[in-house]
A and B are shown apart, each in its own frame.
Chain A
Amino acid sequence: SSKLSFSSQAKMSRPVQARRLEGVDKNIWVEFVKLAATYSTVNLGQGFPDFPPPDFLKEAFTRALSGEKHMLHQYTRAFGHPPLVKILAQLFGKLLGRELDPMTNVMVTVGAYQALFCCFQAFVDEGDEVIIIEPFFDCYEPMVKMAGGTPVFIPLRPKAPKDGKLMSSADWQLDPAELASKFSERTKAIVLNSPNNPLGKVFSREELELIADLCVKHDALCISDEVYEWLVYDGKEHVRIASLRGMWDRTVSIGSAGKTFSVTGWKVGWTVGPNRLLQHLRTMHQNSVYHCATAAQEVVAQGFQREFERYGKPDSYFVQLPKEMQQKRDQLVQSLVAVGMKPIIPEGTYFLVADISEFKSDVPDVPNSDEPYDSRFAKWMVKNKVNASALFHRIYHGVFVPSLLAVLIRASSGGNTTSGQRPHPDPVLVWKKPGHCLSPW
């Protein structure tokens, strides 16, 4: 076959892309993943575990595939594989204290990411405002914009911790008056992320009631991103805002198998909410991806069935994983303190934020650079051993000092790193700098 060339007159001469892509083309993860791959370092930035999924889930996957059920390889129900929506309805019905219909109160999505996309597309229109709490998972802003909406930011503000104590994510709070001032008649929704990525904050019942009252008062929706719902430490309770008074009817709760079962690569997520809201998510879903892959849904359903039976018991994965991660968190905190960083102890998630202002002098100064400091710091870390995310300056429109670094708690204990280099012992924040050895090798 001959190589076909094209004549220059054939090129599209007019602008091709749609205007909805304006301002949403940059993506920090795309950049950082490329960077980490280029420099072959340990990737601590992007939020995924470096430990394997639980054995019971891997076994279920293998079992499902070795059976004769080849319909596992064909389309299933578009709004969610029946066994999965049924067990989700059972579990979340129990957690929310109400009877849920698996067909109308639950919808499965391609990861929580697609659930968020469906929510913004279904509910946000031009002229609508959406309140976003800073710091936030980076996709909220471009998704609101792509839907034609206007993001309205409100920062969590730090309160000084008690003398001698380390700051906790609980010390970062919304100012009630400030929050109230952000609601207007144009406010369509508020995005809540609890436990919060990247701070690790787990909103208390009182804090959620504050938000709930405002939602009810202004007839606003709540898009509640709860993907880290099981990663909660120190016996703290994850309160579901949909269970608060007046909130079920105006809340879509989002969850993720990737975060629940440490299988981010399976991309199975879900939305739970009232039919009057989910019907619009279904419309969006059927006009964008229509079906989600079948096999993973089948296996996640089995995983949930197992956990439902063991709910609250010591051998429940939902009990064991946070216990294990809490230890890792504590080790990492110690390591960071030892080198003079100031970690903010997270109440949940597997992220940790640390104050890096002490280390400004170590990062080579680039005169006239308009690249923000912590981005340069993060890139310097990547080149020097460790990849970490530097999200703050880009996502913070509020008060924050651009000197905070989000770092991922890892549990790698002899397993493979994403770079394929030799495994590290615990804890896993490794940082080689002349004269400073952070972790015991």
Chain B
Amino acid sequence: MTFWKKECSLRQWPLDTKTQDELKALTTMCGIKLVSKRYCHHWVEFTKVAADPSIVNLGQGLPDISPPSYVKEELANVAAVDRLNQYTRGFGHPSLVKALSQVYERVCGRKIDPLTDILVTVGGYGSLFSTIQALIEEGDEVIIIEPFYDCYEPMVKMAGAKPVFIPLRNKNDGNCASSADWVLDPGELAKKFNSKTKAIILNTPHNPIGKVFTREELQVIADLCIKHDTLCISDEVYEWLVYKGKKHIKIATLPGMWERTITIGSAGKTYSVTGWKLGWSIGPQNLIKHLQVVHQNTLYTCPTPLQEALARAFWIDYKRMDDPDCYFYSLSRELESKRDRMAQLLREVGLKPVIPDGGYFMIADVSTLNVDLSDVDGNQPYDYKFVKWMIKSKKLSAIPLSAFCGPETKGQFEKYIRFCFIKEDSTLDAAEVILKNWTKQTD
């Protein structure tokens, strides 16, 4: 607890260059490694970009497509019901946990008790927080696969534990056309587990690379979890966004894993309603009960009208889970064509995209362009400088990949940047114009 509180007193927001330098000086003085810079400022800086309408924003993971109309309608219907404007059950609105248990019983092939095996949280983010606060503490080690969604590291640290990183490695060494080319080295992974390892955080489909872990890859992880008696925190918020030929497999369904896995889902990613901030944790009662204790001592209950509307939307799609028009499948079909279009545009400019098997992000190698970045100030990784330059001179934004990795692996990831493609055609059209004109402009 004391570690991050010390850091807190050093962090200012927003972080301008002067403050960054001050921060660096202070942390050097106090002997604290400067990893916190990433926690607070890059999303803040890049979110400022989102407010500028002249910039085509492919950075933040924010859909600008519309959610399905029935989802919006259900919320409007719910708004008219008076009692749905007051508190509901703390651990999850009854109709929502019931709907979730039905959907996931079908997917997992096992009975899921809506009251004891599910906790509804403020987004997938809130589930990560509740899980880590409930089950992780000082003295624990938590394995984090790089690149990683950036909140994993500070949340683990805030719980007083030590993050242990292991990178996905590009097995084709430079020629990685697909997210499937990025793999964990089994020997390397095994070495990261020891008696202090409390959990491993898995993210599949993976943000930012878009990797969908195969059954064999999950089995390697599962075997180690069982051997070392560790937990698995499985962030599956993009579970429905899986493209042709690939299948999302839940590690909790592998033998021996249900008892030690918390599986996290998100309404925001399922229904393109990130602003509803509803997520859930599913697992065995003896684990979920601890998450519930955290929840009752942090925010107690999630908003009622949103939960009721979400429950109704889930019932609509649950009833058609055998039908290809079910939104769980139709969204990924819609996104696949956007993915392919994005990849084509990036290739035409000379960037090397890594085609994702899932999720709505795509990374691309920018080093091949050999852009002169000497004008961009700061002692920052290549990708940060590239993105800053791209925002300023091309009016296009993305997120640098080294924002998603630990301090040791910056060198491996700093030539990549991440694009988000869950965007309306008009946004992609605007990006197309910029990319097609790329080589024509002088810097």
Q: B231 on the interface (CB 8 Å rule)? A: yes
* Chain A binder among B153-161, B239-247, B343-351, B357-365: B153-161
Known: A73-B72, A114-B299. A289 touches B229 (CB 8 A): no
| B275 and A73 within 8 A (CB) | yes
Q: B99 on the interface (CB 8 Å rule)? A: no
| B110 and A290 within 8 A (CB) | no
Contact with B along A5-48 (1 / 0, CB 8 A): 01101111110111111001101011001000000000000101
Q: B248 on the interface (CB 8 Å rule)? A: no
Q: Which of B40, B229, B277 contacts A14 (CB 8 A)?
A: B229
Instruction: Name the interface size band of chain B.
Output: 35 or more
Give the residue name and chain of the B residue nearest to A49 (CB): B86
Task: Give every chain A residue within 8 A of B2 (Cβ-Cβ).
Answer: 125-126
Task: Give every chain B residue within 8 A of A327 (Cβ-Cβ).
Answer: none
Known: A16-B286, A114-B299, A126-B1. A70 touches B255 (CB 8 A): no
Q: Smallest distance from the beta carbon of A101 to chain B beta carbons, Å?
A: 12
| A416 and B82 within 8 A (CB) | yes
* Chain B binder among A87-95, A174-182, A258-266: A258-266
Q: B70 on the interface (CB 8 Å rule)? A: no
Q: Which of B85, B125, B253 contacts A265 (CB 8 A)?
A: B85
- A-B CB proximity, top 10 nearest: A265-B304, A10-B256, A294-B275, A1-B109, A18-B137, A52-B82, A114-B299, A17-B290, A65-B76, A289-B122
* Chain A binder among B257-265, B368-376, B406-414: B257-265
Task: Give every chain A residue within 8 A of B43 (Cβ-Cβ).
Answer: 78, 286
Give the residue name and chain of the A residue nearest to B65 (CB): A70
| B72 and A293 within 8 A (CB) | no
| A289 and B72 within 8 A (CB) | no
Task: Give every chain B residue within 8 A of A291 (Cβ-Cβ).
Answer: 123, 125, 274-275, 277
Tell me the bound Cα distance from A72 to B306 in angstroms.
Answer: 13
| A16 and B231 within 8 A (CB) | yes
Q: A139 on the interface (CB 8 Å rule)? A: yes
| A13 and B137 within 8 A (CB) | no
Q: Smallest distance from the beta carbon of A22 to chain B beta carbons, Å?
A: 10
Q: Smallest distance from the beta carbon of A94 to chain B beta carbons, Å?
A: 26
Task: Give every chain B residue within 8 A of A76 (Cβ-Cβ).
Answer: 275
| A20 and B137 within 8 A (CB) | yes
Task: Give every chain B residue within 8 A of A27 (Cβ-Cβ).
Answer: 90, 296-297
Tell me the bound Cα distance from A20 to B130 in angstroms.
Answer: 12
Tell me the bound Cα distance from A110 to B307 in angstroms.
Answer: 14
Give the residue name and chain of the A residue nearest to B128 (CB): A288
Q: Which of B84, B135, B255, B276 contacts A7 (CB 8 A)?
A: B255
A-B pairs with beta carbons under 8 Å apart, 22 shown? A9-B226, A10-B255, A18-B134, A21-B290, A29-B300, A30-B296, A33-B90, A62-B80, A75-B60, A110-B122, A111-B299, A114-B298, A114-B299, A117-B298, A264-B87, A282-B13, A283-B11, A287-B154, A287-B158, A289-B129, A294-B275, A295-B306
Q: A161 on the interface (CB 8 Å rule)? A: no
Task: Give every chain B residue within 8 A of A266 (Cβ-Cβ).
Answer: 85, 303-305
| A58 and B80 within 8 A (CB) | yes
B residues apposed to A, CB below 8 Å: 1-2, 4-5, 8-9, 11-13, 39-40, 43, 47, 60, 62-64, 66-67, 71-72, 75-76, 79-80, 82-90, 106, 109-110, 122-123, 125-126, 129, 133-137, 151, 154-155, 158-159, 226, 229, 231, 253, 255-260, 268, 272-278, 286-287, 290, 293-294, 296-306
| A13 and B229 within 8 A (CB) | yes
Task: Give every chain B residue within 8 A of A3 (Cβ-Cβ).
Answer: 109-110
Task: Give every chain A residue within 8 A of B83 (Cβ-Cβ).
Answer: 416, 418
| A62 and B299 within 8 A (CB) | no
Q: A239 on the interface (CB 8 Å rule)? A: no
Task: Give every chain B residue within 8 A of A334 (Cβ-Cβ).
Answer: none
Tell me the bound Cα distance from A125 to B4 in angstroms.
Answer: 11
Known: A66-B76, A73-B276. A279 touches B109 (CB 8 A): no
| A9 and B82 within 8 A (CB) | no
Q: Smallest distance from the beta carbon of A205 to chain B beta carbons, Å?
A: 32
| B86 and A265 within 8 A (CB) | yes
Q: Smallest distance from the beta carbon of B422 to chain A beta carbons, Å?
A: 10
Contact with B along A84-128 (1 / 0, CB 8 A): 000000000000000000000000001101100100001001100
Known: A20-B137, A117-B298, A265-B87. A62 touches B76 (CB 8 A): yes
| B301 and A267 within 8 A (CB) | yes
Task: Give every chain A residue within 8 A of B298 (Cβ-Cβ).
Answer: 113-114, 117, 288
Q: Smallest distance from the beta carbon of A292 to chain B beta carbons, Å?
A: 6
Q: A311 on the interface (CB 8 Å rule)? A: no
| A280 and B135 within 8 A (CB) | no
Q: A195 on the interface (CB 8 Å rule)? A: no
Tell me the bound Cα distance from A138 to B256 in angstroms.
Answer: 39
